[in-house]
Structure 1
C-alpha cells in the first residue's frame, strides 16, 4: 500500500461550497456521486486549484474571481475562497519533519492570493516544487478529467508530452532547465546591459583619468605652495613683530619726552599768563586813575562851560537891553502901517469868494457833460467788441472748413490708392490660404498615423510598467523589511553595547563596589569573586521579587577568605571610597528553613535560593541571603502564609511587595526594568533576540537582492520601451509643431484675407462719405465768408462813431483839468490872505501893550547881569582846585606805566622760552606721530598677513604655525613660490571633483567589468548546467518512455481483452521536444490511429494509457472526474475492476454517476443541492444511492 495519500479536503467559499466542508479519505477507493449540476466536479476543481492551477478556464470559469462563492437569492456572496489539502507524510516522502502536510490556498475578491504549507505562508513556486515529480500538481496526472482525456487524445501529439514527462519523472529536470534557461536569458540581458554601461563608462574613464591626474598634480603643487606661502608669511610676520617691538619702545620713549616737554611749555605759558595778568591789573589801576581824572576833567569842563554860559547870558542880556531900547524908538511908526495892510487884506478876501463860487458852477457842468460822454463811449465800445468777436469766429470757422476740405481731398486720393492695393493683396492671400490648407491636411494625416503608432507602443509600455511597478513594490517591501530589520539589529546592538558597558563599568553599583572590582581586575586585590548581583541568574518572572528580597545585598561583594575582605576594606579606607559589605566564602553559613510545609500552600512559588541559578560554589552565600525568603504569587497568598506561620520568615510577592518577619509590610510601586538583575536578564534576552534578527536580516537581504535584480530587469524593459516611446513622442511633437505652424499660418492668412475684404468694404463706404463731406465743407465755407463780411462792415461804422466820442471826451477832460487848477490857485490865495490878516491883527494888538513890558525888562536885565558876575567868580575858584588834582593823578599814571613795562619784559621772556620749548614739543609730537604710524602700519601688515592666512587657507596663526615648514632660504623659497604659481597656472582649468568622480566611475567601471566577468562565468556555467540537464533528461525520458510503452501494451491488452498498442516518438533524434504518436489495434481490427476510433474506444485507450503511467510511476492519489462516462456498462465494469487492482499503490477518488464504478468503491460521498446554488456532502450506502440521488 502507498505510504503517501490524501487524508482530507477542506473547502470554504469555493464555488458552490459557501460553508466549511470537510471530506475525509481513507487509503481505499472513494466515489463521489451526485446528480448533474449538484457541484460534484467542483471537488476536483478544488483539488486542482489548491495544487496551484492558474488558468481560470481549466477551472471552468471566466476569471479567477469566479471560484469564490457568488451568492444566491438568500445568501450573500463570500469575500474569499479557501481550500486545504491534507496529505499523510508518515514516511516523510515530502522533505518535512511533520507527519502531515497541509497545503492551503486562499483567494480574495481584491485579487490577492495566499499560499500556505502547514499554515506557514509560502510562494506558489514552493507549492509547485513540493509536488514536482510526485505525479501530483497542476501539470501532473493526479487529476484526470474529460479535459485530460481530450488532451491525450488530441490530434496534436505534442500536447501529450506534459503527461509523459511527468510520468517519466523529468518535470523537475525540465523545470530546472527552464529555470536555468530563464536565468541564462536574464544573464544574457544583464550582460548586454552591463556591456552597454561599460561602453558608456569607457567614454568617461580616460578623460576623467587625465583630469584626475591633473587635479592630483594640482593638489601636490598646491600643497607645496601652501606650505611655502604659509612659512614665508610666518617669516614675514616674525620680522614685522620684531620691528613692531622696537617701534613700540621708541614710541613709548618719545611719548614720555613729549609729556615732559608739554609740562615745561605749560609751566612757561602759565608764568607768562601770570605776568600778563599782573599787567592787566596795572592797566586796570591806571584806568581807574584815568577815570577819576576824566570825572574831575568833566567837572572842570562843566564849570568852564557854566562860566561861558554865564558870560554869554550877560552878553545876551546886554544885547536885549540895547534891542529893547531901539524897538521902543521904532514902535510908533509901525502901528500906522499895520492898519492899512489889514484893510487891503479884507477887500481881497471878499473878491476871492465870488470868483470861487463862479468857478465851482462851471466845473460841475463840465463834469456832468464828461460823464454822459463816457457812458456813450462805453456802450459803443461793447457793441464794437462783440461785432469783432463774431467776425473772428466766422473767419476761424471758415479756415477750419478750408483745412477740412484739403484733408478730404487728400483722403479721397489715399482711399483710391488703398483700394487698388488691397485688391492685389486679397488675390495673393486667397492663394496663400489654399496652399496652407493643402499642407495642413497632409500634416494631419501624418500626425494621426504617428499617434496610432504611439498608442500601440503605449499598450506595450503599460504592460512593462505594471510589471516594473509590481517588482519595484516587491523590492521596496523587501528593502523596507531589510532596513527595518537592520534598524532593529542596530537598536539591539546599541542597547546590548550600552548594557554591556554598564555591566563592565558596574553601572548602578556603589562607588565602593566599582573601586574594589576595578582594583581586583588590575590584580591588586586577591580573592574577589564579584558582587552578589553578578553571580546569579534569575528567571524573568522572578526578577522583581529577587531584587526586592536581596535589596542592598545585591551589592555585597563575595570574597574567598576573611583576609581578602579585610584587604578590600583597608583599600576603601585608603581611597576614602565609601563602605561595602563583604561575604567571605570561608565563613558564611547557609540558612536553615524549617517551615517546609509552606511549599504546599496556595500561591507558593518557591524559596529565594531555589528560584535562582548560580555556581555551586556560592550555595552557602545564596542560602544565607535567600534561603529564608519565600516568594509568593500575590499579596493575598503572602498574607495567608504569614498568618499561618506566625510571621517567622520574609515573604516577597512576584510584584515586589514584602511581608517582613515580625509582621511589618513594605510595598508600593516597583520599577520593572531599572534593577541590576533586570539589566542582566535584559542583556541575555537581547542577545537571543539579536541572533534571531540577524538570521532574519540575512534572509531579507537575500530576498532584497533577488527583488532588486528582478526590478532591474523590468526597469531595463521599461527603459527600452520608453526610449522607443520617446522617439515616437518626439516625432509626434515635431508633427504637432508642424501642424500648429500650419494652423497658425492658416489662421493668420485667413484673418488677413477677411480683414482685406472688410477693408475693401470700409474703403467704399469711406469714399462715399468723403464725397458728401467735401460738398458740405464747400457750402459751409461760402456761408461763413458772407457772414464775416457783413459783420466787418457793421464794425467799421461803429468804429468811426467811437473815434468822435473819444475826441470830444478828451476836450472836456482838458477843460475840467484847467478849471481845477484855477480853483486850487484861488483857494491857496484865499488861505494866504486870511492868515496874513490874522497875523496883522495880532501884531497890532501886541504893539499896543508891549511898551510898558519892555521898560520893565530893561530893569530886569541890569539886575541879572550883576548876579551872574558873582556866580562866575565862584566857579573859577572851583575850576583851579580840580586842575591841581588832575596833575597829581597824571603823575600816578606815569608810575603805573613804568611798572607795567617791567612786567611786560618778564612776560616776553617767558613767551620766548615757551616758544622755544614748544618748538621742541612739536618735534617730539612729529616723532610720536611717525612712530605711531609705524606701529599702526606694522599692526596693519600683521593683520593683513593674518587675514591672508585665513582668507587663503582658513588658518589661524596658531594653526598656521603647526603647518610651517623649514625654509632653506627665503629668496629661494620665494623663487619656488613663483615657479609653483606658474606651474599651477599652466595646468589650466582644474576639476577637483574629477578625482572623486574618476574614483567613483573607475570603481563602477571595475565593478561592472568584474560583474561582466562573473556574468560570463555564470553564463558558461548555466550553459553547462543546461547541457547536463538536457542529457540527463534524454536518458531518463528514453528509459521511462520504453517502460511506459511496455506497460501501455499490457494495460491495453488487459482492458480490451486482446489487441495491440504502441507509443512512438515522431522524431526520435529530438526526444525532448517531439510529439508522441499512439497506435492501437483493438481485438479483431486492423492497426489504427486514434482519430479512426469511436468515442468509447478513444476514452478506453486513454484510460489504458493512464493506467500504464500509474503502473510505471504511481501517484499518491488520483482523482478521476467522470472519465468513464463514454464507456458502455461492460467496459465500465472492466475499468472499475482494473482500478481496484491498482488501488494497492494509488489512492483513487472517483467522481462518477456510473453504477459499475460505484460498486467497486469502498466509500461513497453524495453531493446534493437541497438549497439552490449550495452544495452539501452526504455519506451514503450504495443501496441508498438510487433512492437518495435519483441515479439509475
Structure 2
C-alpha cells in the first residue's frame, strides 16, 4: 500500500503528527508515495534484488569456476548477468539522482514558500499587535479624556459655586455701601447747614458795645460756653448711641440678609435636588426593571455558555474519540501495510532462497551425476551414478561404500578431516580382501585407473588416542567425525592417531611429543617424519558438498513449509482493504466531528461574546442604578441639610430681629441727636456772638479781626469737614459704582459660564462627559476585535512556523536518506556521490 494513485492508503487531516511518530522506514515510504517515486523505488528494489541475485550468481560462478573448470558457458552467463547488474546499478544511480534532485528542489521551494508565509504571518502578527497597542493607547487616552472631562465638570461646578458666592458677597457689599452713602449724605447736609450759619454770622454788621453790654456779653458768653460744653457732651453721647444703634442695626440687617440669601440658596438647592430626585425616582423603576431583565438575560446567557461549553466538550470528546479511532486505524493500517510489505518481502526472499537452494541442489546433483570431482578409478566403478551416499546401495558386488560417503565431519572441520584422510578420502570399502583384489585386477585389465581399497575383514584395528583436554587441541579426529558402527573400525584405524589442532605451533608440539599426526583447521597436515602437507586441490571440498547435499533437502523442506505458512497474503490484502474502508469512514467521521467541534467552538465564542456584552450592559446598568440611588441619597441629604439649616437660620433670624434696634428707637436717637445738635448750635452761636461782641467791644479792630479769623477758621473747619464728608461721599459713590460694576461683571461671567442652565447634565462639560461615556462600548468592542485579530495572527504564525519546521524536518530526512544511499548535494546543487564512495559503473 501507499499514498499514490490506485493505492489503499488514506491520509486525513490531523495525521501529520501520526506520520511524524512513525518509524523512519515507514515515514520514508509515505514520503516516497506522496512524491510519486514509488515506481522508482520499486525499480530500485528490483534492481537491488537483481543485483543481489547477480552477486549470488557471480559467487556461484566463481565457485563453479573453481570447482568445474570445463563449464565455461555457465561462467559466460554469469558474466552477462554481471553486466546487467552494472547496467541496473547505473540505472538505479540515475533514478536516485533524479528522484533526490527533484525532491530536494521541491522541498527547497516548499521551504522558501514556508519562510515567505512565516514572514507574512509575522508581519500580520506585528501589524495586529501594533493595532492592538494603538487600540489600547486610544482606550487609555479615552480614559484620560473621561477623567479630564470629570475634572472639568467638577471644576465648572466649583467655579459656579465660587461665582455665586462672589455675587452674593458683592451684593452684600453694595448694600452696606449704599447705607454708608446715606449716612454721609446726611452728614454733608448737616455740615452745609453749619457752614451757612457761620457765613450768615460772619456777614452780620457789628454794633458799638458799651460797658454794660460788655458785662452782659461776658456773662452771656460764659453762660453760652457752659451750655455749649454741656450740649457738646450731650451731642457726643447721642451721636455715640446713634452710631451704636446704627451699627447694631446694620449688623442685624446684614445677618438677616445673609440668612435670607442662605435660605434662598437652600431653597434653590432643594428645588434642584427635588427636581433631580423626582426625575431619578421616575426613572428608578424602569432602571430596576431593566437591570432585572439584564440579570435574567445574563443568567440565561451564562446557562447558554454552560450548555455551549458542555456541547463543545462533548464535541471535543467525540472529535478526540474520532481522531483516536482514526489514529488507531491508521496505525493498524500502517502496521498491516508494513506487515504485508514485510511478508511480501520475506516471501520473495524465501522464494529466492528456495530457488537458490533448488538450483544449488540440482547443480550438486548434476556434479555428482556427471562424476565431477572423482578420479578415473571411481568413474570406472560407479559410472554416471556417482559416488553413493551413506546408506545408498553401491550397485557393485563386494563394494560396501566409499569412505567420503560414510564419514561426516563437523561444521568447520571439513578441510581438516579431508587433509587428515589425504589419499584415503576416495578409498573404497570392500566387504573382503578377495573382493578388493578381484576388482583391482579388473581395473588393471581394463586400464580404468587406480583405487584405494579398504577391506573390512583385513583392516587392522588400532584404538584411537586417549587425550585429555589441552590448550590448542580440538580433539582426536576419529572421535570428532560421525559414521555408521560397521565402519567405526576403519575410521579409528585411519584417524585414531590424528589430532586436530588450532594452529601449526600446537601441531608441531603434538608431533614432537610423538602423539601421531596433527592437522590444523586450515588443512595443514604434519607427520612425525617431518613431512608437511598444505594447500588446496581443485577437486577438494567433498565433505562440504556432502554436507550441502544432506542439508539442502531439509532447508528446501523448511522453506516450502514457511512459504505454505505465508500463503495468507491475499487474505491479508483483503483485510488491508477492509482496514482502508474503515479508515476512510473514520476519516469522514473525524472530519465531521472536527466540523462539529469547530461549530461548537464558534457557538461557545458567540455565547461568551454575548455574555461579555450582557455583563458590560449589566455592569453599566448597575452603575447607573447605583448613581441614581446615590443621587436620591444626596437629594435626601440635601433636604435634611436644608431642613437643619432652615431651623438654625430661623433661630438666628429671630435672634437678629431681636437684636436689631427698632425704627422708633433710631428715630428717637436721631431726634435726640438733632436736639442736642441744635442746642449745641444755639449755645455755640450765643457763645460766639457774645465772644464776638466782646472782642468787638474790647478790641475793636484786632478783637474783631481775631473773632473774624476764628469764625473763618471755624468756617474753614466746617468747610473742611464738609469737603472731607463730600470726598468720603464721592469715594463711597465710586466704591458703590465699582461694586455695581464688579457685580455686573460677576453676573455676566456667571451667565457666560452657566447661562440659563442650572442642571449639571445640560452643561457643556456634562455633555462632553456623556459623549465620552457613550463611546465606551464602541471602544471596548474595537479593543476586543483588535485583540482577537492579534490572537488569530499569532495562531497563523504558529501554524506557519510548524509547517516550516515540518519542511525542514523533511529536508533533513531526505539528506539522511541520500547519505544512506551514499549521495550528497554538491556546491552547484546537483546530486553527486559522497567523498570516498564508489561511482556507479556506466551502462
With the length of structure 2 as denominator, give the TM-score of the two structures.
Answer: 0.28
With the length of structure 1 as denominator, give the TM-score of the two structures.
Answer: 0.20
Higher strand share: 1
Higher helix share: 2
